Amino acid sequence: MDEVRLVKRGLVASLRENIERNIERYLNGNFHDILSVDYVIPVKGVSVDLELLQKLCPNSGGHVDVENAKIVHAAISGLTRYLARDERLWVWFTHGPCIDYVRKRWITGVSVDDRIKQIRDHFFASGNRGFERNNALACLWWWAQIASQYRKAPLDEVLEVFLHQTDVRAAIIERPTATQPAFNSIMEVLIEQFKSDPERVFFKRRKSQGLYQKWLMEINRYAGVRMYEAFPESENTNLFRRLAAQVVAEGKLEQVG
């Protein structure tokens, strides 16, 4: 296992301000000369298997995201949720040991402006969505970390469902008011829906809205009068099953109509 480092704040700011000047480094080079001992800080208690990280696949697709999330989560040991929200950590990964993966996966634009935006979004981690959605390594770690909270199924299975539909994942991560207190119940019903229908009708968008969206809206609506954390998990799960059955039945009626 290797040592994990943080990039000093001044260097993070400098890198962000000079993306265009460093564009050739991002496309074909590296930052080894910049990430020297003078500009990075060792992190006590956190280590990384750099050899395992080399197995990250730069292709897109839900099944690739599942495998990559597992790799990142397994490769980094001792990382706390608090530290996982420190941009300096992920800037070290994206500009250091994982730069080749990040550029192949995310620098796809043709114009300089597009490339600069992609670098800013995926090599750094700022704003509310910077960690769980944008940063190339942070999002993978966070997806696996969140999915690992559900322990009734293997992580592979949970991630397959969790990462199948972007909007479902976003609703759970970015709108936690109702979803996080009842995360286990939501995942249980999602997994049931995923397994019961090979066509994944529940997860498909139709006319800009899918059954899963209507279901999550119902869960949020009930949250206005029901504090999910105050009820047993089994009760929440049964409620969410009924709501899922309701929106599926309504969806079938709309198709007939």
CA pair distance 148, 159, nearest whole angstrom: 8
pLDDT of residue 128: 73
pLDDT of residue 33: 93
Cβ partners under 8 Å of residue 202, min gap 6: 193, 194, 210, 211, 212, 215, 244, 248
pLDDT of residue 67: 96
The residues that bridge with 113 in the sheet, in sequence order, are: none
pLDDT of residue 64: 94
pLDDT, one tens digit for every residue, the chain (257 residues): 999 999 999 999 999 999 999 999 999 999 999 999 899 999 999 999 999 999 999 998 888 999 999 999 999 999 999 999 999 999 999 999 999 999 999 999 889 999 999 999 999 998 877 899 999 999 999 999 999 999 999 999 999 999 988 888 888 887 766 677 789 999 999 999 999 988 888 988 776 568 898 998 898 888 766 788 888 899 999 999 999 999 988 876 566 44
pLDDT of residue 223: 72
The structure's pTM equals 0.91
Residue 110 per-residue DSSP state: S
Dig out the tokens for 161 from the structure. 């469902």
SS3 content of the chain, % helix, strand, coil (to 5): 65, 10, 30
Residue recorded with tokens 């119940």: 185
The string of pLDDT tens digits covering residues 136-155 is 999 999 999 999 999 999 99
